[in-house]
Amino acid sequence: MLEDLINHAQQLPAYDLSSWTPIFKGDMDLVIAADGQWIHQGTAIANTKIKQLFGRLLQRQDNGDYWIITPVEAFRIAVEDLPFVIVAADFIPQKGQGEWHFTSNTGDQVYLSEVNQLIVTSDADQPKPKLLVRDGLWGRIDRTVFYQLAIACEVHKSAQGNRAQLISGAHGYDFGPI
């Protein structure tokens, strides 16, 4: 039965979670760890399809809380850092300029095409890159993908000096000073 639900959900378009008004709301012992693991009641969820389904039902509220939403139930969950991890990147050449395409640990496919969709901050002098996946939900770009992107950066001269910039479509994304 669960397998049928998962298979059915994968065939559906993205859910319009904002239109759902669940009657029951509560807390679930589900944590999305900083490394991208989904942990329910202390045990890592190994089934990728379940993580994909829950990922499609994930919503972030204005107050920063994360919820798994269905039409009749909503469960608040804990997220240690960001709900997704970006695990793969490919450059797709197009006429003129190409675009970067990303894959999250839950199978989300994202084209880097919007202003402020990729942001690189730092923590203790270490880069902390993140990518907007959808609807206010961000993914932490893993180290391997970050290095791949850093190698693809171009030098951009600015008033602050030379900076690394990743180009995707018509936009440049700042990776910091060189």
- In the numeric block, the tokens 């990743």 are attached to 166
Q: What is the CATH number of the domain that holds 44?
A: 3.10.540.10
Domain co-membership, 156 together with 122: yes
**Residue 6 CB contacts under 8 Å (≥ 6 apart), including other chains:** 49, 50, 52, 53
Round to whole Å and give the CA distance between 106 and 108.
Answer: 6
Q: Return the pLDDT at 21.
A: 84
68 in the same domain as 9: yes
* Maximum CA extent, the chain: 60
- Please tell me the distance from the alpha carbon of residue 91 to that of residue 167, in angstroms, as a whole number: 10
Boundary-marking domain end, from 25, 48, 79: 79
Residue 135 and residue 105 in one domain:
yes
Distance (Å) of CA 43 to CA 30, 47, 87, 90, 141 = 9, 12, 22, 32, 24
Strand partners, 122: 127
CATH number at residue 108: 2.30.270.10
With a threshold of 0.85, does the pTM exceed it? yes
Residues 88 and 172 in one domain: yes
What is the block-wise mean pLDDT of the chain (178 residues), using blocks of 10 residues? 51 70 93 97 93 93 94 95 97 88 94 95 90 96 97 92 94 91
Whole-number pLDDT of residue 4: 57
Domain boundary among 79, 112, 127: 79
Cα–Cα distance measured from residue 70 to residue 104, given in angstroms and rounded to the nearest whole number? 22
Enter the DSSP assignment of 22: -
- The pLDDT, as a whole number, for residue 85 is 98
Residue 134 sits in the same domain as residue 97: yes
164: which 2 tokens?
């690394």
If one counts the domains in the chain, the total is: 2
112 plus 72 within the same structural domain: no
Task: Find the length of the chain.
Answer: 178
DSSP annotation of 79 = E
pLDDT, residue 94, reads: 85
Q: What is the pLDDT of residue 123?
A: 86
Q: Are residues 66 and 127 in the same domain?
A: no
What is the domain extent for residue 136?
84-177
What is the predicted pLDDT for the residue at 3?
56
One domain for residues 100 and 57: no
